[in-house]
Amino acid sequence: MNNVRPIKDPDKLREIREGLAKLTDWHGERMFLLFEIGINTGLRISDMIRLRKKHVCGDWIETVEQKTGKVTRIPLNVTIRQIIQDRCRDMDPEDLLFPSRVTISGKEKQIPMTRRTAYNDIRLIAEEYGLGDHIGCHTLRKTFGYWHYKKNKDLEILRQWFNHTSQAVTRRYIGMDEDERRKSVTGFNPGGAVYQPRGPVRKGKSEQNSEPLKIKNLDRSKQGKIWGERAQERRKKENRCH
Protein backbone atom coordinates (compact mmCIF):
# COMPACT_ATOMS: atom_id res chain seq x y z
CA MET A 1 0.00 0.00 0.00
CA ASN A 2 1.57 3.29 -0.98
CA ASN A 3 2.04 6.12 1.49
CA VAL A 4 -0.11 8.65 -0.36
CA ARG A 5 -2.98 9.89 1.80
CA PRO A 6 -6.50 11.23 1.23
CA ILE A 7 -7.53 14.77 2.14
CA LYS A 8 -9.57 14.29 5.32
CA ASP A 9 -9.89 17.87 6.56
CA PRO A 10 -13.24 19.21 5.26
CA ASP A 11 -12.18 22.85 5.65
CA LYS A 12 -8.97 22.27 3.69
CA LEU A 13 -10.84 20.36 0.99
CA ARG A 14 -13.38 23.17 0.66
CA GLU A 15 -10.58 25.76 0.49
CA ILE A 16 -8.87 23.88 -2.34
CA ARG A 17 -12.05 23.41 -4.36
CA GLU A 18 -13.08 27.04 -4.02
CA GLY A 19 -9.57 28.25 -4.82
CA LEU A 20 -9.19 26.12 -7.94
CA ALA A 21 -12.65 27.13 -9.17
CA LYS A 22 -11.48 30.75 -9.37
CA LEU A 23 -8.57 30.02 -11.72
CA THR A 24 -9.26 31.31 -15.23
CA ASP A 25 -6.14 30.35 -17.19
CA TRP A 26 -6.01 27.18 -19.30
CA HIS A 27 -3.73 25.32 -16.90
CA GLY A 28 -5.74 26.31 -13.83
CA GLU A 29 -9.02 25.21 -15.38
CA ARG A 30 -7.48 21.85 -16.25
CA MET A 31 -6.27 21.38 -12.67
CA PHE A 32 -9.72 22.25 -11.33
CA LEU A 33 -11.47 19.73 -13.58
CA LEU A 34 -8.88 17.03 -12.80
CA PHE A 35 -9.31 17.56 -9.05
CA GLU A 36 -13.11 17.60 -9.17
CA ILE A 37 -13.53 14.52 -11.36
CA GLY A 38 -10.95 12.69 -9.23
CA ILE A 39 -12.60 13.32 -5.85
CA ASN A 40 -16.15 12.85 -7.19
CA THR A 41 -15.67 9.61 -9.16
CA GLY A 42 -12.70 7.76 -7.67
CA LEU A 43 -11.27 7.04 -11.11
CA ARG A 44 -7.57 6.25 -11.39
CA ILE A 45 -5.41 8.95 -12.94
CA SER A 46 -4.49 6.58 -15.78
CA ASP A 47 -8.20 6.31 -16.69
CA MET A 48 -9.02 9.99 -16.17
CA ILE A 49 -6.35 11.37 -18.49
CA ARG A 50 -7.86 9.42 -21.43
CA LEU A 51 -11.38 10.82 -20.96
CA ARG A 52 -13.08 12.74 -23.77
CA LYS A 53 -16.23 14.83 -23.55
CA LYS A 54 -18.32 12.01 -25.06
CA HIS A 55 -17.41 9.83 -22.05
CA VAL A 56 -18.86 12.23 -19.47
CA CYS A 57 -21.81 13.94 -21.17
CA GLY A 58 -24.45 11.67 -19.57
CA ASP A 59 -25.16 10.40 -16.06
CA TRP A 60 -22.36 7.84 -16.17
CA ILE A 61 -18.72 7.47 -17.13
CA GLU A 62 -18.19 4.21 -18.98
CA THR A 63 -14.59 3.26 -19.57
CA VAL A 64 -12.23 0.31 -19.82
CA GLU A 65 -9.84 0.37 -16.89
CA GLN A 66 -6.29 0.53 -18.15
CA LYS A 67 -4.94 -1.37 -15.14
CA THR A 68 -7.45 -4.26 -15.08
CA GLY A 69 -8.93 -4.26 -18.59
CA LYS A 70 -12.42 -4.34 -17.05
CA VAL A 71 -15.33 -2.25 -18.31
CA THR A 72 -16.56 -0.02 -15.50
CA ARG A 73 -19.51 2.35 -15.21
CA ILE A 74 -19.20 5.19 -12.72
CA PRO A 75 -22.34 7.16 -11.82
CA LEU A 76 -21.92 10.94 -11.78
CA ASN A 77 -23.34 12.87 -8.85
CA VAL A 78 -25.20 16.15 -9.31
CA THR A 79 -22.20 18.31 -8.41
CA ILE A 80 -19.81 16.83 -10.96
CA ARG A 81 -22.49 16.80 -13.68
CA GLN A 82 -22.99 20.53 -13.16
CA ILE A 83 -19.24 21.17 -13.28
CA ILE A 84 -18.83 19.15 -16.48
CA GLN A 85 -21.80 20.86 -18.16
CA ASP A 86 -20.38 24.28 -17.28
CA ARG A 87 -16.69 23.71 -18.00
CA CYS A 88 -17.04 21.45 -21.06
CA ARG A 89 -19.98 23.07 -22.86
CA ASP A 90 -17.80 24.43 -25.70
CA MET A 91 -16.01 21.12 -26.29
CA ASP A 92 -16.65 18.74 -29.18
CA PRO A 93 -17.49 15.10 -28.27
CA GLU A 94 -13.98 13.92 -29.27
CA ASP A 95 -12.13 16.64 -27.35
CA LEU A 96 -9.88 15.49 -24.52
CA LEU A 97 -10.80 16.68 -21.04
CA PHE A 98 -7.15 16.85 -19.98
CA PRO A 99 -5.02 17.67 -23.01
CA SER A 100 -1.39 18.66 -23.26
CA ARG A 101 -0.61 21.23 -25.92
CA VAL A 102 2.18 20.45 -28.33
CA THR A 103 3.31 22.12 -31.56
CA ILE A 104 3.80 19.83 -34.55
CA SER A 105 4.94 21.29 -37.89
CA GLY A 106 4.06 24.76 -36.65
CA LYS A 107 0.52 23.77 -35.66
CA GLU A 108 -0.73 23.42 -32.09
CA LYS A 109 -2.24 20.01 -31.39
CA GLN A 110 -3.68 18.27 -28.35
CA ILE A 111 -2.48 14.98 -26.94
CA PRO A 112 -3.51 13.31 -23.64
CA MET A 113 -1.65 14.63 -20.63
CA THR A 114 0.74 12.13 -19.09
CA ARG A 115 0.55 10.64 -15.62
CA ARG A 116 3.71 12.58 -14.77
CA THR A 117 2.04 15.85 -15.78
CA ALA A 118 -1.01 14.98 -13.66
CA TYR A 119 1.28 14.23 -10.72
CA ASN A 120 3.04 17.57 -11.15
CA ASP A 121 -0.32 19.38 -11.16
CA ILE A 122 -1.39 17.60 -7.96
CA ARG A 123 1.92 18.46 -6.31
CA LEU A 124 1.40 22.12 -7.29
CA ILE A 125 -1.93 22.01 -5.49
CA ALA A 126 -0.34 20.33 -2.47
CA GLU A 127 2.35 23.01 -2.21
CA GLU A 128 -0.09 25.89 -2.72
CA TYR A 129 -2.43 24.67 0.03
CA GLY A 130 0.10 23.21 2.44
CA LEU A 131 -0.91 19.56 2.16
CA GLY A 132 2.55 18.15 2.90
CA ASP A 133 4.54 15.40 1.21
CA HIS A 134 2.09 12.47 1.27
CA ILE A 135 0.08 13.75 -1.69
CA GLY A 136 0.16 12.19 -5.17
CA CYS A 137 -1.95 10.74 -7.96
CA HIS A 138 -3.78 8.31 -5.65
CA THR A 139 -4.78 11.17 -3.32
CA LEU A 140 -7.83 12.07 -5.42
CA ARG A 141 -9.06 8.45 -5.57
CA LYS A 142 -8.44 7.94 -1.85
CA THR A 143 -10.19 11.21 -1.01
CA PHE A 144 -13.26 10.03 -2.91
CA GLY A 145 -13.16 6.71 -1.03
CA TYR A 146 -12.71 8.32 2.37
CA TRP A 147 -15.66 10.70 2.01
CA HIS A 148 -17.83 8.08 0.31
CA TYR A 149 -17.34 5.83 3.35
CA LYS A 150 -17.93 8.71 5.79
CA LYS A 151 -21.30 9.32 4.13
CA ASN A 152 -22.50 5.76 3.48
CA LYS A 153 -20.61 3.60 6.02
CA ASP A 154 -20.63 0.79 3.45
CA LEU A 155 -17.28 -0.82 2.76
CA GLU A 156 -18.72 -3.43 0.40
CA ILE A 157 -19.98 -0.85 -2.11
CA LEU A 158 -16.61 0.87 -1.98
CA ARG A 159 -14.74 -2.44 -2.32
CA GLN A 160 -16.68 -3.20 -5.51
CA TRP A 161 -16.18 0.38 -6.73
CA PHE A 162 -12.40 0.02 -6.39
CA ASN A 163 -12.27 -3.64 -7.47
CA HIS A 164 -10.39 -4.53 -4.29
CA THR A 165 -10.00 -8.13 -3.18
CA SER A 166 -11.30 -7.53 0.35
CA GLN A 167 -12.86 -4.90 2.59
CA ALA A 168 -9.68 -4.92 4.69
CA VAL A 169 -7.73 -3.70 1.65
CA THR A 170 -10.29 -0.95 1.12
CA ARG A 171 -10.11 0.17 4.76
CA ARG A 172 -6.34 0.50 4.57
CA TYR A 173 -6.51 2.21 1.19
CA ILE A 174 -8.78 5.03 2.34
CA GLY A 175 -6.97 5.49 5.66
CA MET A 176 -9.75 4.27 7.97
CA ASP A 177 -7.37 1.96 9.88
CA GLU A 178 -5.17 4.96 10.59
CA ASP A 179 -8.16 6.90 11.94
CA GLU A 180 -9.17 4.01 14.20
CA ARG A 181 -5.65 3.71 15.61
CA ARG A 182 -5.59 7.44 16.32
CA LYS A 183 -8.96 7.27 18.10
CA SER A 184 -7.83 4.29 20.16
CA VAL A 185 -5.11 6.32 21.90
CA THR A 186 -7.27 9.40 22.56
CA GLY A 187 -7.32 9.70 26.34
CA PHE A 188 -5.12 6.60 26.65
CA ASN A 189 -2.82 6.77 29.70
CA PRO A 190 -1.59 3.47 31.20
CA GLY A 191 -2.04 3.54 34.98
CA GLY A 192 -3.47 7.07 34.94
CA ALA A 193 -0.23 8.74 36.03
CA VAL A 194 -0.18 12.55 35.90
CA TYR A 195 3.02 13.96 34.49
CA GLN A 196 4.41 17.00 36.30
CA PRO A 197 6.63 19.09 34.00
CA ARG A 198 9.96 19.85 35.59
CA GLY A 199 11.27 23.38 35.99
CA PRO A 200 14.35 24.80 34.28
CA VAL A 201 17.39 22.58 34.78
CA ARG A 202 20.64 24.24 35.82
CA LYS A 203 23.76 22.30 34.99
CA GLY A 204 26.31 22.31 37.79
CA LYS A 205 30.05 21.86 37.43
CA SER A 206 29.96 18.21 38.37
CA GLU A 207 27.22 17.50 35.84
CA GLN A 208 28.99 19.31 33.03
CA ASN A 209 32.19 17.33 33.57
CA SER A 210 30.55 13.95 34.11
CA GLU A 211 30.93 11.26 31.47
CA PRO A 212 27.83 9.81 29.82
CA LEU A 213 26.69 6.42 31.01
CA LYS A 214 28.00 3.59 28.85
CA ILE A 215 26.09 0.33 28.60
CA LYS A 216 27.78 -2.70 27.08
CA ASN A 217 25.55 -5.50 25.82
CA LEU A 218 27.04 -8.97 25.53
CA ASP A 219 26.01 -11.16 22.65
CA ARG A 220 24.25 -14.50 23.07
CA SER A 221 27.48 -16.51 22.77
CA LYS A 222 28.54 -15.01 26.15
CA GLN A 223 32.15 -14.81 24.99
CA GLY A 224 32.59 -11.21 25.97
CA LYS A 225 31.99 -9.80 22.49
CA ILE A 226 30.38 -6.38 22.47
CA TRP A 227 27.70 -5.50 19.91
CA GLY A 228 29.04 -3.15 17.30
CA GLU A 229 32.66 -3.93 18.14
CA ARG A 230 34.85 -4.04 15.05
CA ALA A 231 36.28 -7.42 14.09
CA GLN A 232 39.85 -6.06 13.98
CA GLU A 233 39.60 -4.65 17.51
CA ARG A 234 38.04 -7.88 18.75
CA ARG A 235 40.88 -9.97 17.29
CA LYS A 236 43.47 -7.75 19.00
CA LYS A 237 41.68 -8.20 22.29
CA GLU A 238 41.51 -11.97 21.82
CA ASN A 239 45.24 -12.12 20.96
CA ARG A 240 46.12 -10.23 24.14
CA CYS A 241 44.10 -12.73 26.16
CA HIS A 242 46.04 -15.63 24.64
Write down the catalytic residue from 22, 67, 107, 220.
Answer: 67
Active site residue 164: yes
Burial class (CB within 10 angstroms; exposed 0-12, middle 13-18, buried 19+) of 225:
middle
Helices (H), the chain: 10-21, 26-41, 45-48, 53-56, 78-87, 115-128, 137-152, 155-162, 167-174, 176-184, 205-209, 231-241
Whether residue 182 lies inside any domain: the answer is no
Write down the catalytic residue from 142, 146, 149, 173.
Answer: 173
Whether residue 36 lies inside any domain: the answer is yes
Write down the catalytic residue from 123, 164, 225, 234.
Answer: 164
pLDDT in tens, 27-67: 999 999 999 999 999 999 999 999 999 999 889 998 888 88
Active site residue 172: no
Question: Per-residue pLDDT averaged across 185-195, rounded?
Answer: 84
Looking at residue 241, what is its pLDDT? 57
Whether residue 159 lies inside any domain: the answer is no
Sign of the torsion formed by the C-alpha atoms of 44, 45, 50 and 54: positive
Write down the catalytic residue from 138, 148, 159, 171.
Answer: 138
Whether residue 203 lies inside any domain: the answer is no
Whether residue 171 lies inside any domain: the answer is no
Whether residue 67 lies inside any domain: the answer is yes
Which residues constitute the domain of residue 61? Answer: 10-131
CATH of the domain at 67: 1.10.443.10
pLDDT at 90 exceeding the cut of 80: yes
Active site residue 70: no
Q: How many structural domains is the chain composed of?
A: 1
Whether residue 236 lies inside any domain: the answer is no
pLDDT in tens, 136-187: 999 999 999 999 999 999 999 999 999 899 999 999 999 888 888 888 888 8
Active site residue 115: no
Top pLDDT among 81 and 228 is at: 81
Looking at residue 238, what is its pLDDT? 64
Write down the catalytic residue from 5, 30, 52, 141.
Answer: 141
Whether residue 50 lies inside any domain: the answer is yes
Top pLDDT among 183 and 95 is at: 95
Looking at residue 1, what is its pLDDT? 45
Over its C-alpha atoms, the chain yields an Rg (Å, rounded) of 28
